[in-house]
Structure 1
């Protein structure tokens, strides 16, 4: 049985979007458990500051990789830069574009799809085969509670996270047969810079938590022997996600639109 299925103590973990928020919290928790780290994000200054903190506090090896995941073949190129064994991959990097779709910028949508979808697939494609070959390893793909329903004003983001959820569930089944774990982590609104950017109205899709609460949910899932295709952080968020699967979409969407202060577009 994979050692990561008892208490999660990966020898080396790679985390994208590690410069702040959920990604930085993953780094702190894993470093406290003794994991060496590869921290990936665009903001090199923040990565270096976090790495210095973790090395000083926990004595782990901490490598920083400034990286733009919106670039083509980002995962494959990242694998070339990080050739060593990786026991745990946390695909956390992502961003959202909020507002009516027709008011959005096509370049922003293209970058969102590149980071939130293409990079997740590419990184899994780059790192999962080695895990399968040695029958050991874990990938956590950070999705969202928006994955469980369409969300007006977050149309592309919600659809991207729905992709991540479905993709991760498929990989969960395929990988479990080889002793490897893949699952989607679905946070609701979280007190991070992410919501400083898109605003508080997105709380229509869940209840606020801290990054520590979200990562604690992920670590409980990693520590248990039971492997699940996805986990939702927060009981109220789980209830809301379940309700979204019951309420007809034609009923749900006008309700979300009103909460998000958007006039309904259907009769």
Structure 2
């Protein structure tokens, strides 16, 4: 049976990937920090779907945790879902550097390292894939002073670049870029959901369903839902001065004049 390793697997998009992939016949390796919660979720999947579910407690923002998961990937899996990630609700000039470093180690370095660990086995067998969960935030300056959008811009660009280097070897890499999604992400980051209209929110089920569909179609970038496809089109084509104003920087015009 094919095996999928999923990071950040106990909640939100990661948990939904686990459910849908188990339903599709995958055995699973689930990675998260909370060992008790991880085992409880895994047992539910074993009971409901009859799949083999391995648990791998690890903190991917730490060297030891990342090494543990990289070693497991080197043994071989058919699909890697790099879903684990965090955001911060503090401006760059006020945030603690340790928090910034932790976010970038999880959002960027872990994605780099785990993808690098997984690909040699996939290339050798001529099949397999990687889904890196990014965000529409990576397509524009949506949060002035935030390195979250920068980290997701890296994930999207990295995924496309690696995809082009391995697709002739039978391996597919895709960046999944959802918009606002009902998960624990905002609560953990201390970000209020009240400012966003109800129509702007997606369900984790829809994000994963659309993402897996696009992955099977061979897309390099998946943007779930038409409304966010339109949003990304605008972010890519709006004049930078207008984007700065929409992001809340009224000085965008003068700042852009010298570029």
Report the TM-score, using the length of structure 2 for normalisation: 0.90
Are 1:208 and 2:211 counterparts?
A: no
Distance 1:20 1:154 in 2: 28
Are 1:150 and 2:128 counterparts?
A: no
Question: 1:178 aligns to what?
Answer: 169
* Structure 1 consecutive aligned stretches of length 4 or more whose deviation exceeds 3 Å: 73-77, 81-84, 201-204, 263-267
1:88 to 79, 88, 105: 79
1:24 to 15, 19, 40: 15
Q: In the comparison of the two structures, how many residue pairs are matched? A: 250
Greater CA drift, 161-170 or 29-38? 29-38
- Contact 2:32 / 2:58 at 8 angstroms: preserved in 1? yes
Greater CA drift, 154-163 or 178-187? 154-163
Distance 1:216 1:82 in 2: 24
Q: Deviations over 1:41-77 (max 9, x none)?
A: 1111221111011000011010111101011375443
For the aligned residues, what is the CA RMSD? Answer: 2.0
- Contact 1:74 / 1:123 at 8 angstroms: preserved in 2? no
Written as runs of structure 1 = structure 2, the 5 A alignment for 1:88-127 is 88-127=79-118
Greater CA drift, 184-193 or 92-101? 92-101
Q: Unmatched 5+ residue regions in structure 2?
A: 255-259
1:234 to 225, 237, 258: 225
Distance 2:165 2:79 in 1: 17
Displacement after TM superposition at 1:246 (Å): 1.0
Q: Unmatched 5+ residue regions in structure 1?
A: 1-9, 258-262
Report the TM-score, using the length of structure 1 for normalisation: 0.88
Structure with the larger RCO, 1 or 2 (CA within 8 Å, 6+ apart):
1
2:234 to 240, 243, 257: 243
